[in-house]
Each structure stands twice: as structure tokens, then as C-alpha cells.
Amino acid sequence: MTRRRSDDWQSATTSSLTVLPRPVFFRAYPIAARTRVEEHRHDWWQFMFAREGLMQVQAADTALVLPPAYGMWIPAHCAHTLWAAEEVMLESLYIEEAALGGTPPALQVVAVDEFARAFIHHACTHVEEDYDEESAAGRKVAVLLEVLQALPRADFMLPFPTDPRLNAVCMAIQHAPHLPHHREDAARRAHLSPQTFSRRFLRATGLPYQQWRQRMRLLCSLALLREGKNVTETALAVGYATPSAYIHAFRQLFAVSPRRFAH
């Protein structure tokens, strides 16, 4: 991974791997805090597991957050950019489509249970790069793929509209979640009436504008919690008037409290 500095973030590029030595290739490596991995794509599927640390990902007009102990499927040829505000220990599988069988996974974040975590770590640290597909190692890899494809989806992603006017509104929320971003102001920014804006936004994202705005604020809050901000600081930083309102919304979306997530 090649790095260069841009402002207070390090800019990194991925390896120049063009062909997988086997249908499944394992990588385990750290990403330093304040690193942005530039937009790139692969000719194969990728399963990323954040053993430690939290990353934000932009892929296929979708904003995703990869918290520690969660995994993410990225389809082949899907352009994606990664941001690691804190140090991340990443374990990845690069997977040829034929090895997945049936319908390959879509872009998504998944909850990784203890068994799958241990299995991923074992494979990344013990399976040789040129493993024999007919050997015990090859059979382990095949079982691991079945385990990963059965993991349940987690709600850590948010679709972005492709309409440039609506997209600009969404980017403004992502970059300044503490501001109110009222519907009327957003519609004015998009040069639409409030009613037309609401209809088009719902059609483009599948979510009402207010719900999309709330989800983005909550996704933005995850990185702040991981940085050590307390609940009150985090709530105010992402536009909530009170900690209790923030805690309630957080529990509804993520099924845990902000304090528990942070630890």
C-alpha cells in the first residue's frame, strides 16, 4: 500500500495485484489512523473484516460504515474509497466469482459472529497463498465461504441519489451533520419545490428525506464515538438537540446504546 500526505490525512493506494493466485486470496494488514485509501476497484469480490477499528466507505453511490467486528461485501468492479479515522486492522478475502456459486453477495455490511471471526483470522494467518484446492486447506476455504455468505445483513449503509442536485444535498449533510438541513432549505438548494423535492428524494433513495438525514447523522456519529467523544458531545456534533433524542434514535437503528457501541 503506497501512501502520501494530503492535509492531515494520509492518502494511500492499494497493491497492484491483477491476478489471484488461487480462487480465494487472503490479506491481513493494518491501515494507519487518518488514512484515505483512494478510489479503486477489483476484478473479483472482496470480503473485508475490520478486526479492530472503524472505517467509512463510499461505494456505488452508497455510504457505508464498517465498525469493528463487522464485515463488508464489495462486488467485483465496484469502485470504492475507504477512510480510516482510527487505526484499523483489516482482514480481507479476494474471491473469484466462480468460487461463490449461485448469486454472489451484493454490496452490504454484515454482522460477523464469534465463530466466523475466529475462522477468518485462522484463514488469514494459516492458509498458504498457493494452497491446494483439493487439500484440507482448500476444504476449509470452501466452508469459510459458505459461512460468510450466510452472515446476516447489518443496517450500516445508506443509498445516495444519482441526481446531481439531490446528491449535493446529501453530501452537505454528510460533511456538516450538525446543521439543521431543513427540507425547505434542501429543496431550495436543489432548485425544487418542497413537495417535488420530497417525491424525487423518496424515489431516488427509497427513504423519506427526514429519515435519510437522520440515518446519515447516526452513521456519522459512529466515528465520533470511536474517537472517544462522550454521548452528549456526539449528539450535539451530529445535530441532535438532546442526548436522550440521540440515544433513542441510535437504539432504534442499531439495537444497542451509543455507550455500548463505543466499547
pLDDT digits (tens, 9 = 90+) for 146-160: 999 999 998 788 998
Q: Which residue has the cell 468492479?
A: 77
Q: Tell me: the pLDDT tens digits for 73-97?
A: 999 999 999 998 889 999 999 999 9
User: What's the rounded mean pLDDT across residues 115-123?
Assistant: 95
User: What's the rounded mean pLDDT across residues 171-187?
Assistant: 95
- Which grid cell is 18? 491483477
User: What's the rounded mean pLDDT across residues 160-179?
Assistant: 92
Provide the CATH topology of domain 160-262. Arc Repressor Mutant, subunit A (1.10.10)
What does the domain layout of the chain look like in residue ranges? 2-154, 160-262
Q: Which residue has the cell 457505508?
A: 64
pLDDT band, residue 7 (cuts 50/70/90): low
Q: Please check whether the two domains, 2-154 and 160-262, share a CATH topology.
A: no
pLDDT for 189 beyond 60: yes
Q: What is the pTM of this model?
A: 0.78
pLDDT for 3 beyond 70: no
**Greater model confidence, 42 or 12:** 42
**Greater model confidence, 2 or 38:** 38
Distance (Å, whole) CA 150 – CA 134: 23
Write down the pLDDT at residue 61.
83
**CATH tag, 2-154:** 2.60.120.810
Question: Would you put residue 149 in left (φ > 0), alpha (ψ -120 to 50) or beta?
Answer: alpha
